[in-house]
Amino acid sequence: MAAVGVPFHAKAGNMAHFPSRSQGSSSSNSTPLHADAAAPAFDLSDFIMFDQAEFAPSSFGPEPPVVPPMVDGGRSNDQNSNLSNITINSGDMTVNARNTGVEGERREETSRIAFRMKSEVEVLNDGFKWRKYGKKSVKNSPNPRNYYRCSTEGCSVKKRVERDREDPSYVITTYEGIHNHMSPGVVYYTTQDSVSGRYYVAGCQVPPDS
DNA sequence: CGAATTTGACCAGCGC
DNA sequence: GCGCTGGTCAAATTCG
């Protein structure tokens, strides 16, 4: 099953980009997670993050284009390891993606992606329909954690949403699992910048009457 | 009235 | 074994 990632409701043209492996050795010169100047201002709520196995999910169609793994926020993907992490930091957002698997045996289809972003609303419109099934106050945090499950029949993707205990203006969202269906209202695509080699991911909401 | 949300109870994992 | 914590369940409640 192909990794599907976490599509977000995004305005057309808004993009997030990820640094290529070849750059980023200097943390002070790390690429910020913003759109290029030519693109409309990047809204953090539009950010899309994918699981590392097939990093860029692209068009979200039945046969997404193959995009080479390139995420490296301080460590490279280790093909000999069934556990890898992706960490990207910028001033406004932190992303962590994780794939877990069982040593030796078949790989467990568990994909976990967490990111922290500045948002007034806790529940983002990511194009999927979520059903809340739990709320829990967590240790060391004054803010409760909300638990959501994808309401699409047969889809077991879950997400946890909580406000950052240090800065309540930030929302920490953790997605777990892979959607086995397409988002009902969003089309996704990726492009690669020929100069920098970076991959751009964008979501475009399909007009209701199209 | 059906669907979604709320919320207390319950369960499992982990550390001591 | 016990208590703490995080995650899930499910009945009650609210909402559209």
pLDDT number for residue A22 = 37
Of A85 and A169, more confident:
A169
Which chain C nucleotides are covered by protein, judged by CB under 7 A?
A: 4-10
Beta bridge partners of A204: A187
Of A205 and A142, more confident:
A142
Average pLDDT, chain A: 57
Of A68 and A156, more confident:
A156
pTM > 0.75:
no
- Mean pLDDT, range A70-98, rounded to an integer: 47
Our measurement of CA A63 to C1' B11, in angstroms, reads: 40
Q: How far is CA A97 from the centre of its chain?
A: 8
CB A79 within 8 Å of CB A101: no
- Mean pLDDT, range A86-110, rounded to an integer: 54
Our measurement of CA A176 to C1' B14, in angstroms, reads: 21
pLDDT number for residue A88 = 53
Residues with CB under 7 A from strand C: A 133-134, 136, 138-140, 145, 147, 158, 160
DSSP class of A71? -
Tell me the pLDDT tens digit for each residue of A101-160: 444 344 444 677 777 777 777 776 677 888 999 999 888 888 889 999 988 877 878 889
Number of Cβ within a 10 Å radius of residue A31: 15
DSSP per-residue string spanning A165-187: SS-TTEEEEEEES--SS--SSEE
Our measurement of CA A59 to C1' B15, in angstroms, reads: 45
How far is residue A210's CA from residue A199's CA, in Å, rounded to a whole number? 28
Of A100 and A192, more confident:
A192
Share of chain A above pLDDT 90, in %: 4
Asked if the model's pLDDT at residue A180 lies above 90, the reply is no
Asked if the model's pLDDT at residue A66 lies above 50, the reply is no
pLDDT number for residue A146 = 92
C-alpha torsion angle, residues A12, A2, A98, A142 (rounded to 10)? 60
Burial class (CB in 10 A: 0-12, 13-18, 19+), A104: exposed
How far is residue A57's CA from residue A35's CA, in Å, rounded to a whole number? 19
At residue A79, the 3 state secondary structure works out as coil
Nucleotide at minimal C1' distance from the A176 CA = C7
Asked if the model's pLDDT at residue A74 lies above 90, the reply is no
